[in-house]
Structure 1
């Protein structure tokens, strides 16, 4: 597969992983797959997580320090955050429109609801406990959490990405404010370190097709067990809900982002999609914006021609606070659960969902499954039974893959928009993807 482009290698790995998972389920090779194949997927994810913190820290420091003045940083930062919040609110609103029009929750029978509650009772309790800890915090706790008391402690936890971003911004601003001759050696050090980290990313990505194969093979056998028909039946029961979520995600990726790319970014969307495609495929297979970040940055710079000083600031920030796909999913899932329980949500309650889902997306960790924990907070705010999460846990991993793809595409879209408005977009004449 060495002669194939990376995105084709990843696609082949995904297809073979699904095929192997179904065969393993049919032939009784579930334990073999979980013991001898799935761990390689975990190793691949760990490698991506390994490089996430160093990449964000170093790339943000180099990106901010290269802006040369604090006023420019302020302009780019406010522009980036404003666009991120705008697209997130739009995603939540469209999700609410979809779920109210199609009403997928009313397709569940009481018997099926009880079956899901019993099957996922322990997982639901675990998610509820995690969310309860967040819910008990004060209104300004998210602001407090952004400022670390020990940066080295924060760097040992991928869930503390906002704290790392805060330190990197502070460090980069300090480099701008000290005399240039004193800052030069530090800038050179971080430039060299950044190159080394990017080379590590290249090395890790050589294993991407095999890691993706192992990830999806393990996912399919966990989902189906020894009965492949169980997966099919489950998907049929929850298919309506999944379709509604998918329509919303497609709305973002096929309508909202194209409009933004073509009007503000002044770029053909086909060109944009071709350039970001490897990152989309990795996002789909890993369900992690943070794990995909190295590839997203590489695609944005090499394939889309976005200046490094923009990507090194906008993309790490987006991987942490911009979760359009996750926010849309939370809106649909919350109302879906309310419908399944026969709860009619008022307009005020649904507007509360918009606010909560938007704010929750900012604090959600860019790792698989984080959206479920934040969904509990959304449910509590709207007065929807938390136990209803049991209804959507089964297909959540698949939807997580889809919404992460949207999250990553949204990050790249905003990066292109900011680059164009700053005169930092220089698309290559031809896209070459490794």
Structure 2
């Protein structure tokens, strides 16, 4: 157990398993089958605990947030910052795609390889292609969100189906009503929710011990099922997406460090565990316990804000997805020689931001299908793009989750404090820094002699009582 815990929290250990997985997938493909099964077990455990943890954590965070000063300003700031960060990532992805032009200067061999991949998918994997189109066609994706999904008539139904929007609505309504009750009325239920919260935290924490095997299995799967020619043809997109995600992640870490008033290296050390989990697990909800602990206990931000923003952001603040959708759309436009004017650039950024919010609660291949919303806005082929990006999705999943995670942490850092009513003046800081008065006891000789006599008398009485008890 201790060895697995060290490996799951070790960057070098995970890199070692990554390298071993690539070698196993390239040379001995069956070697990665067992690790892939373990990875599926890990994802099943995390997904099993994700929805209950999301509900309880948001409930506890909302209860604590409503008890703070000016909760309406905090909630408004949280929503505004989340929207701004997702929009910023969409704009950055669009501008980088226009400037770097990935897909515009591919060689003839690369274009032939991508064309063959699309044709092979259409002929040999028709069931996969149809399932992607049926589940994530642009029109279907938009029609799948109805008023009943946002305001459900049965909480247990949306909880069983895992519909994030309905779960969020029910949790907020229940949390607001519960927070309006007195402490005496809610004491027992508070302890129950706290126990449930810690239980699911423990489940996810123990499931994260399987991260090394998950990394090994994922690397073996990618190495065994993705051709080198495909990776070479998509290398332009992969390079710029990873660089943009890492750059924006560094900006988020710098903002958190400035807000916390601690060195950058310390912030990276405190956030090491959630960043590793987000980068390697392929799940947006797996880092939730580590992130709440790091942002509140270690970096000193408000735990109530962290418990509300982190679960909410894991589902809805999909900054990494917005960057991915924008850059992927520009790549496909360059691939098909579609010129983009100023109106098209604005459309790509806006549609990428919208697709990121619409894809709330989806991950992996299911999330890739929502790129069709952005592609269809420019009348670009959705089917071909889906085939190309599904092939490299496992490589993009880690940087995408990392950027979204650090964007959520940035929202926590900015919302936790800083309201005008909470800014402490210099005079208050000086008064707070002064030590409290020290109580001193002073005795004269008569009082000291009297006190000594009383102590001696009490001691003799205790000795005599012990002798009497022993004599009986």
Indicate the TM-score class for this superposition, using the shorter chain for normalisation: 0.7 to 0.9
CA contact (8 A) 1:42 1:215 kept: no
Cα separation, 1, equivalents of 2:134 and 2:22: 34
Q: How many residues align?
A: 412
Using a 3 Å threshold, how does the CA distance of structure 1 residues 244 and 206 change in structure 2: closer, same or farther?
closer
The CA deviation string for residues 40-75 of structure 1, in whole angstroms up to 9 with x for no partner, is 011011111111111111111112122345984432
Alignment of 1:407 onto 2:404: yes
Q: How far apart, CA to CA, are the structure 2 residues paired with 1:191 and 1:26?
A: 47
| Deviates further, 358-367 or 371-380 | 358-367
Indicate yes or no: 2:173 matched with 1:170: yes
Q: Per-residue deviation at 1:282? A: 1.3
Distance 2:12 2:216 in 1: 8
Q: Is 2:119 the partner of 1:118?
A: yes
The answer on 1:145 being equivalent to 2:149 is: yes
Where do 1:154-303 residues align within 5 Å?
154-158=158-162, 160-223=163-226, 230-231=227-228, 233-255=229-251, 257-303=252-298
* Distance in 2 between residues matched to 1:270 and 1:94, nearest whole Å: 26
Single out whichever of 360-369 and 258-267 deviates more from structure 2.
258-267
Deviations, residues 186-228 of structure 1 (Å, cap 9, x unaligned): 22221222222223333323333334333433343333xxxxx
Partner Cα distance (2:305, 2:73) in 1: 12
> Which structure would you say has the larger Rg?
2
After TM superposition, the structure 1 stretch with the greater mean CA deviation from structure 2, 50-59 or 370-379, is 370-379
Query: Distance between the aligned counterparts of 1:242 and 1:88, measured in 2?
Result: 20
Tell me the CA shift for residue 254 of structure 1: 1.9
What is the rounded CA distance, in whole Å, between the counterparts of 2:240 and 2:146 in structure 1? Answer: 31
Task: Determine helix, strand or coil for the equivalent of 1:107.
Answer: coil
In structure 1, stretches of 5+ residues that fail to align are 224-229, 425-434
Aligned to 1:372, which of 368, 372, 375?
Answer: 368
How far did 1:374 drift? 1.2
Partner residue of 1:33?
32
In the alignment, what sits opposite 1:18? 18
Pairing partner for 1:67 from 65, 70, 83: 65
Per the TM alignment, residue 406 of structure 1 is displaced from its structure 2 partner at its CA by: 0.9
Aligned to 2:47: 49
**Per-residue deviation, 1:85:** 0.9
Measured at CA, do residues 5 and 307 of structure 1 come closer, stay the same or move farther in structure 2, by a change above 3 Å?
farther
Please say if residues 310 and 415 of structure 1, whose CA atoms lie closer than 8 Å, have aligned partners that are also in contact.
yes
Kept in 2, the 8 Å contact 1:7–1:281? The answer is no
Aligned-residue offset at 1:137: 4.2
2:132 maps to 1:127: yes
Contact 1:330–1:371 under 8 Å retained in 2: no
Q: Is the 8 A contact 2:29 2:220 kept in 1?
A: no
Aligned alpha-carbon RMSD (Å): 2.7
Deviation at 1:263, TM superposition (A): 4.4
CA distance 1:409–1:60, change in 2 (3 Å): same
Structure 1 residues 161 and 369: CA distance shift in structure 2, 3 A = same
Query: Partners of 2:175 and 2:84 in 1: how far apart?
Result: 27
